Amino acid sequence: MSENPDLTNERASGTFETNAMAAVIYGSEKFAQRRREITEAISKIPEFQDSHPLVFMSREEKISEACRKLAVLSNYWNSLIDTSDEEEALHLYREVLGLEGHPLALHETMFIPSLIAQASDEQQEKWLGRAQRREIIGCYAQTEMGHGTNLRALETTATFDISTREFILNSPTITSLKWWPGALGKSANWSIVIANLIIKEHNYGPHPFMVQLRDEKSHEPLPGITVGDIGPKMAFNGADNGFLGFKNYRIPRENMLMRHSKVTSDGSYIKPPHAKIGYSSMVKVRSRMAMDQGLFLASALVIAVRYSAVRRQGYLEDKSREVKVLDYQTQQHRLFPSIARAYAFIFCGFETIRLYDQLLIDVQNGNTSGMADLHALTSGLKSVVTYQTGEGIEQARMACGGHGYSMASYISEIYGVAIGGCTYEGENMVMLLQLARYLVKSIEMIQNGKSRELGPMVAYLAENESEIDLNLGPNEYLKVFEYAARNQTWRATEKFQKLRNSGMSNEEAWNQASVELTRASRLHTRLYIMSTFINHVGSIVDQKVKGVLIDLLNVHVTYEVMDIGIYVQGLLSSNQMDLIRNQLYVSLETIRPNAVSLVDSFQISDMQLRSVLGRRDGNVYENLFKWAKSSPLNKTDVLPSVTQYLKPMMEKSKL
Ligand SMILES: CCCCCCCCCCCCCCCCCCCCC/C=C/C(=O)SCCNC(=O)CCNC(=O)[C@H](O)C(C)(C)COP(=O)(O)OP(=O)(O)OC[C@H]1O[C@@H](n2cnc3c(N)ncnc32)[C@H](O)[C@@H]1OP(=O)(O)O
Ligand SMILES: Cc1cc2nc3c(=O)[nH]c(=O)nc-3n(C[C@H](O)[C@H](O)[C@H](O)COP(=O)(O)OP(=O)(O)OC[C@H]3O[C@@H](n4cnc5c(N)ncnc54)[C@H](O)[C@@H]3O)c2cc1C
């Protein structure tokens, strides 16, 4: 069937090449091209297609379907991608497995990265190759039923037995059961387990251990291990998140990951070079989350924008034909600022991935000085992008009206997966408060006359801006954001200090200032996102692409400043706010002809999108009908439930 002419016209009105834009989104022409080649190659392999729509499958069927595809994938890895390239591998996973989770997700995202960052050279020699060849499947078991956030309160113990040179693992209470780890329930046979290291009755706190859970031949749990699936979740139902308990389960001393902390055979403990070095796997995932969430948001927007260009409802001036709903200003206001955010998140993602890779090298060379900065940055960023992505996806769903609520749109699945990110890798409020600690320390440095020692990301806290000329473009908007973030950070810090100075304990003063502190963290992070967006656009060479991204940046800066209006009341007059509001409306109109091309540029395939509404060809209605007809409920005209219950009820009512 040919393309819906409404989408053809939209594509014709675009002022730039989508391939050129994809090269900017994905960091290079080479990688954008590789993505297209991988997608093309996969589309020719029938075994990678869903056996039937995932949304009609039970959880067991989803997991089985994911495993089937993983097994097929293992025959194609080397021919489809450069296996040393993480981005190519992730693209392949996204295309084939989609976003509902699968039994190798944690193996790739946390198990292998933990071995790389935490295992000694000898340990890597023993396990890393096996893991990379997928001879074993691993997971990352840290969270317990009773504690996820407060790692210092984890209860699982690993007690060193000097006589046998083994660790004895125990789960002393119900709440100490590991709870949540992906792939633990049914798939993984090994795990990195975070447990309290105990030597001669002294607790050295949580440390990582390499633990075999299941027999490598029979896949049965080993004696001393209780393991299973935690049941269905809001989303991620292609993954078997699990529980795990230990009863006097022994592992050799060599199974504690000993790149940084060490226990010698006589039971001596050697401290790591930085107390939080064991948290690196979390920082790794957090550093990728801006990119991943940007792509979740992008997926929902591809669906909503394409659909809005084929959905016609109501009239503007021309009463002879209904308009595309994308022409309504309210629809544009709902969707276009999110397009800008998706671009901005992806650009930030590249930056934080690069920073993590550099930090990993530095730490391996004994330099841990960058850890605090990256922890603070990624803590704030994961919190802001997950929250705003959730907001943006939900708006995209509503922008699709009734059909958005159908699973045919697939938006609810994207939403469920994306907002998991508000919780995993550190609950958002908690992570905002981690960043706040860093911001408060920065203010204290200024108060102590050490402004010159501030890092570049917080140097603005020591500046002073009281007047803004808003005709000068994005950099002036950045100044507005700096003003808001600086003011809020000072106000929150002063509130905390005042409470503390009044005699309150440090902890209670912190608690009572914490809402204000989280607000400071959000503003600081949004400032970082905006400045990364501005810098990125400044570096683009292709003039057509750059022109459209400047238009998109204008949507971003005006929308973001309007959104934080309450924090800039002391800086901007109501006339200036009106001016910004009008600039936003103008920028929505400016971006309108490029809206479809901007979302096409994400180059997310139909196979990955799984959305009837978001199809590239725009043939929504005929496929919606086809999709509904494929519902298992439509296999027969009369359901047994009707014969068994409703018919007798109706007959009885007739009497
Ligand atoms: C063929 C090849 C294939 C290749 C494939 C490629 C794959 C590559 C991988 C890519 C990854 C992709 C990602 C995709 C994701 C999609 C799937 C995701 C599935 C979901 C998985 C989820 C997993 C989990 O959730 S795991 C569990 C996570 N748990 C948490 O995050 C717990 C949160 N809590 C904490 O982190 C801590 O407890 C904390 C930080 C809140 C408090 O810790 P504390 O010890 O109590 O410390 P505190 O007293 O508060 O602070 C003291 C001091 O320490 C500083 N600090 C804390 N943390 C760090 C750190 N990490 N680094 C540096 N410093 C740190 C803190 O700032 C304090 O400092 P001061 O203020 O100076 O005292
Ligand atoms: C989809 C998914 C996948 C996951 N995968 C894994 C995995 O593979 N491995 C693994 O180990 N874990 C995994 N987890 C667990 C996850 O990391 C934790 O659920 C997460 O870190 C939050 O911890 P919690 O559940 O203890 O929340 P809680 O800390 O109990 O949060 C409850 C509330 O308390 C608040 N709160 C808690 N502490 C503070 C504080 N100090 N200050 C202010 N407010 C506070 C929070 O903000 C929140 O509002 C996964 C979770 C999900 C949802």
257-291 residue pLDDT tens = 999 999 999 999 999 999 999 999 999 999 999 99
**CA atoms of 273 and 275, how far apart (whole Å):** 7
Pocket test residue of 377, 423, 425 for ligand 1, highest count of atoms within 8 A of CB: 425
3-state secondary structure (DSSP) of residue 443: helix
Q: Token digits for 449? A: 């006359």
> What does the pLDDT look like over 367-381, one tens digit per residue?
999 999 999 999 999
Closest CA to 291 of 377, 412, 391, 385: 385
Residue 466 has pLDDT above 90, yes or no: no
Name every residue whose Cβ is closer than 8 Å to that of residue 473 and which is 6 or more positions away in sequence: none
Question: Is 425 a known active-site residue?
Answer: yes
**Among 445-449, 534-538, 556-560, 651-655, which stretch is predicted with the lowest mean pLDDT?**
651-655
Pocket test residue of 137, 180, 515 for ligand 2, highest count of atoms within 8 A of CB: 180
Strand 225-229 versus strand 202-212 pairing type: unpaired
**CA atoms of 552 and 564, how far apart (whole Å):** 19
Is residue 568 within 8 Å of 561, Cβ to Cβ? yes
Q: Is 146 annotated as a binding residue?
A: no
Q: Token digits for 574? A: 């109501």
Indicate if ipTM > 0.85. Answer: yes
pLDDT at position 53, please?
86
pLDDT, average across residues 173-196 = 98
**CA atoms of 396 and 332, how far apart (whole Å):** 11
481 lines ligand 1 (CB under 6 A): no
Query: What is the position in ligand 1's atom list of the atom closest to the CA of 437?
Result: 71
pLDDT, average across residues 455-479 = 86
436 lines ligand 1 (CB under 6 A): no
Residue 51 has pLDDT above 90, yes or no: no
E strand segments, 104-257: 138-141, 157-161, 166-170, 178-179, 190-199, 202-212, 225-229, 242-246, 249-252
Which candidate in 100, 108, 413, 425 is catalytic? 425
**CA atoms of 508 and 499, how far apart (whole Å):** 8
Ligand showing the shortest atom-to-Cα distance for residue 378? 1
183 lines ligand 1 (CB under 6 A): no
pLDDT, average across residues 629-634 = 95
**CA atoms of 578 and 190, how far apart (whole Å):** 59
Closest CA to 141 of 219, 67, 228: 228
Residue identifier of the C-alpha nearest atom 71 of ligand 1: 437
pLDDT, average across residues 439-445 = 98
Task: Quote the ligand 1 centre to 560 CA distance (angstroms).
Answer: 28
Vertex 478: Cα angle to 472 and 483 (nearest 5): 115
Domain boundaries, the chain: 137-272
pLDDT, average across residues 295-302 = 98
Q: Is 143 annotated as a binding residue?
A: yes
3-state secondary structure (DSSP) of residue 644: helix
pLDDT, average across residues 16-31 = 98
Task: Quote the ligand 2 centre to 150 CA distance (angstroms).
Answer: 9
Mean pLDDT of the chain: 96
| Residue 4 DSSP symbol | P
pLDDT, average across residues 290-309 = 98
Residue identifier of the C-alpha nearest atom 2 of ligand 2: 424
pLDDT at position 622, please?
98
pLDDT, average across residues 8-12 = 98
pLDDT, average across residues 216-222 = 98
**CA atoms of 51 and 202, how far apart (whole Å):** 54
Pocket test residue of 149, 422, 516 for ligand 2, highest count of atoms within 8 A of CB: 149
pLDDT at position 52, please?
83
Residues linked to residue 169 through DSSP beta bridges, in sequence order: 158, 249
pLDDT at position 474, please?
87
546 lines ligand 1 (CB under 6 A): no
Is residue 388 within 8 Å of 359, Cβ to Cβ? no
The domain 137-272 having CATH identifier 2.40.110.10: the answer here is yes
Query: What is the position in ligand 2's atom list of the atom closest to the CA of 233?
Result: 1
Residue at token pair 């595809």? 69
**CA atoms of 210 and 505, how far apart (whole Å):** 40
Maximum Cα interatomic distance, the chain, rounded to a whole number of Å = 90
Structural Rg of the chain based on CA atoms = 27
434 lines ligand 1 (CB under 6 A): yes
> What does the pLDDT look like over 77-126, one tens digit per residue?
999 999 999 999 999 999 999 999 999 999 999 999 999 999 999 999 99
| Residue 273 DSSP symbol | S
**CA atoms of 637 and 592, how far apart (whole Å):** 45
What share of the chain has pLDDT > 90, as a percent?
97
Name every residue whose Cβ is closer than 8 Å to that of residue 640 and which is 6 or more positions away in sequence: none
Task: Quote the ligand 1 centre to 186 CA distance (angstroms).
Answer: 25
What is the CB < 6 Å shell around ligand 2?
106, 140-143, 147-149, 180-182, 236, 241, 420, 423-424, 426-427, 429-430, 433
Residues linked to residue 157 through DSSP beta bridges, in sequence order: 170, 196
**CA atoms of 4 and 306, how far apart (whole Å):** 10
The pTM for the full model equals 0.97
147 lines ligand 1 (CB under 6 A): no
Is residue 301 within 8 Å of 339, Cβ to Cβ? yes
> What does the pLDDT look like over 508-555, one tens digit per residue?
999 999 999 999 999 999 999 999 999 999 999 999 999 999 999 999
pLDDT range class, residue 652, cuts 50, 70, 90: very high
Residue 464 has pLDDT above 90, yes or no: no
